[in-house]
Structure 1
């Protein structure tokens, strides 16, 4: 899965109405109080503004992890990647989006797709490799009509 990287512009605030009690996915409660408060998505989704950027996902290699073509990702460069994190990685001149697995016994790590149609990427000391950042949120478009 390829990614396009964008810097996060956090200079503005955009308070949005927020259903404080949550939204039920089951049967609605007619007695529920629907008072709302405002939240700012920048403050809600971005913990480290100086090291956070956005990326657009392209392809379907991470489909089984819930990341689809066109999804917007929030990526934090200050988070140390851990086993099973989904990361934006730079491997041999290209950005890719994969789940990270360490293989200390073999002296390598693996970048794992979440789609059986794609092979894992083995990364050794011979590769030009860097974890660019850890994916913290995935924003998915639900409205499937034309944009």
Structure 2
């Protein structure tokens, strides 16, 4: 585990757990369905959410700069470092000694880090910045 002011990183560990039961029929958000309809198989969230185990990390979100993208404080991000960055992807970036999560905006050979909260400024990346796109967010795990 590695902590920064904005993100706390975790490396996925191989689980010996067989997984949890997947209810493949869907859960009704309308009229309730009977328990007789529940048939499932065991799944592992690691197997479902992690495509590349050697290049995937988890990180907890700190702050509110991405709330309009559905990323809230303490949400758990799944980040794949092997994926190619692209315009409009949500990325974990290293800038001037700090990690941050923002939406990438790439146009005319320029890069901006766009927050998804109007109370935070857009960051224009210049050659003066110590900058690296660290990984691409593939999933978010939320607590309810």
TM-score (norm 1): 0.88
Question: Which residue of the partner structure matches residue 138 of structure 1?
Answer: 140
SS in 2 for 1:5: strand
Within the alignment, does 1:103 sit opposite 2:92 as a pair? no
SS in 2 for 1:10: coil
1:12 paired residue among 11, 16, 22: 16
User: Aligned partners of 1:87 and 1:9: how far apart in 2?
Assistant: 22
CA offset digits 1:88-113 (Å, max 9, x no partner): 00001100010000121xx4211000
SS in 1 for 2:54: helix
TM-score (norm 2): 0.90
Question: Which residue of the partner structure matches residue 83 of structure 2?
Answer: 79
Question: Which residue of the partner structure matches residue 114 of structure 1?
Answer: 116
Which blocks of at least 5 consecutive residues in structure 1 are unaligned? 143-147
Tell me, yes or no, if the aligned pair for 2:18 and 2:42 is still in contact at 8 Å.
no
Question: Which residue of the partner structure matches residue 93 of structure 1?
Answer: 97
Question: Which residue of the partner structure matches residue 145 of structure 1?
Answer: none
1:127 paired residue among 115, 123, 129: 129
List structure 1 segments (4+ residues) > 4 angstroms apart after TM superposition.
none
Question: Which residue of the partner structure matches residue 60 of structure 1?
Answer: 64
Which blocks of at least 5 consecutive residues in structure 2 are unaligned? none
Check 1:118–1:39 CA distance in 2 against 1; reply closer, same or farther (3 A cut). Answer: same
The Cα shift of 1:33 comes to 1.6
Tell me, yes or no, if the aligned pair for 2:79 and 2:136 is still in contact at 8 Å.
yes
Q: RMSD of aligned C-alpha atoms? A: 1.7
Number of residue pairs matched by the alignment: 140
Tell me, yes or no, if the aligned pair for 1:10 and 1:49 is still in contact at 8 Å.
no
1:40 paired residue among 33, 40, 44: 44
